[in-house]
Amino acid sequence: MRDSAAQPALLAGSPTRLSADGNWWWDGARWQPAVSGDGLWRWDGEHWQPAVEIDAEDPEAVSQLFDSTADQRFAAAGRLLVQRRSEWQPATPELAELVGRVAPAVERTAGQPGLSSLLGLLAGADRGELHPQLALVGRMAPQPSLPEADELLASARALEERALDLQKARAGLAEREAEHRRAVEEAAQKVAEATAAREAALADTEARVRAAELEREQAAEDIGRALRELRMPGPGEELARLPDAVLYRHRIDTPDGRGPVDGAVAHVGTAAELWKSQRELLAELLRLEVAGAARFHDSLTAGGDEGYVLLVTRHVR
């Protein structure tokens, strides 16, 4: 941009051919702006260098810098418009009233003309009540107004748009990060629930296995006890010999098996008497056709009065 109010002066002895105020540089044919339109870059005679410190890793700070620089340019444009208020026409009565109200203060703080002086003033006197009023003049100004002011206003609005884009990008990033955190938390919760469920299932399975082991151990113990109870003792001396049985001191032998004397019961009577008292047991013995069953059946049928002995033991083998 050009500062039409002052002709740049070449910096004495400058190998880079910069103006004395550093805002212009001589390209061999004409003076060129040494500051970028947005005020963020400065030409040092060989390279463009950042005019302000920018932390690219901090989007919020960059956004605030853009907003601050835009505000400075709105105020600089507002000062130009107030100083040269006779060269343009306010579009609204409100703007005209504002320009008239701040004009005396602008005239009191006016220094040497030129863009550099405008920006310098903004860093000092305009930082009080005057600065926001000048920035408001710049924001309310119609376009076109003055070429120099329009250039400042265009760069200010571009900076504001860039700041807004950064803010939107930051908001979108924050939302995505929040969604990512929620997704991570949900996944962690699911993992915790699955782990808890697996541990509960494992504990239940272990309990079932242990219960089955205890049940098996108990069953084995019961079987062992039963086997010990059923173990057949030695017969001992012979005490009596019947037609179908031999009675020893500890055992009874029959053609169909043997059993311990301990716990044995003898039922004596005729076939009819025994049938009356032990019908169910005798019916099973008749069905199995054990020794003496046929003779017992014949006697029962004939109503004979011969006697019988029915021996019942705990176990026969």
Q: Is the CA virtual torsion 194, 196, 200, 206 positive or negative?
A: positive
Query: Does the pLDDT of residue 127 top 80, yes or no?
Result: no
The answer to whether residue 7 sits within a structural domain is no
Q: Looking at the structure, tell me whether residues 69 and 153 fall in a common domain.
A: yes
List, for residues 232-268, the tens digit of each pLDDT value: 567 888 888 877 788 888 888 888 777 787 777 888 8
Q: Looking at the structure, tell me whether residues 159 and 35 fall in a common domain.
A: yes
Given 167, 190, 220, the domain boundary residue is 167
Tokens describing residue 216:
């098996």
Q: Looking at the structure, tell me whether residues 159 and 283 fall in a common domain.
A: no
- What whole-number distance in Å separates Cα of residue 309 and Cα of residue 297? 14
At residue 99, the pLDDT reads 93
The Cα-based distances of 272 to 204, 226, 299, 312 in angstroms read 61, 36, 8, 18
The answer to whether residue 62 sits within a structural domain is yes
The answer to whether residue 213 sits within a structural domain is no
Q: Looking at the structure, tell me whether residues 29 and 147 fall in a common domain.
A: yes
Q: Looking at the structure, tell me whether residues 132 and 36 fall in a common domain.
A: yes
The answer to whether residue 208 sits within a structural domain is no
List, for residues 181-194, the tens digit of each pLDDT value: 999 999 999 999 99
The answer to whether residue 91 sits within a structural domain is yes
Domain of 54, in residue numbers: 24-167
Q: Which is more confident, 228 or 289?
A: 289
For the whole model, what pTM was predicted?
Answer: 0.45
List, for residues 46-77, the tens digit of each pLDDT value: 777 776 676 667 777 777 888 888 898 899 99
Query: Does the pLDDT of residue 227 top 80, yes or no?
Result: no
At residue 52, the pLDDT reads 67
Q: Looking at the structure, tell me whether residues 162 and 283 fall in a common domain.
A: no
The answer to whether residue 174 sits within a structural domain is no
Looking from the CA of 73 toward its CB, the CA atoms found within 13 Å total: 25
The answer to whether residue 14 sits within a structural domain is no
Q: Looking at the structure, tell me whether residues 152 and 243 fall in a common domain.
A: no
Given 167, 186, 202, the domain boundary residue is 167
The answer to whether residue 89 sits within a structural domain is yes
At residue 9, the pLDDT reads 52
Given 167, 202, 224, the domain boundary residue is 167
- Looking at every residue in the chain, the average pLDDT score rounds to 79
At residue 126, the pLDDT reads 46
- The structural domain count of the chain equals 2
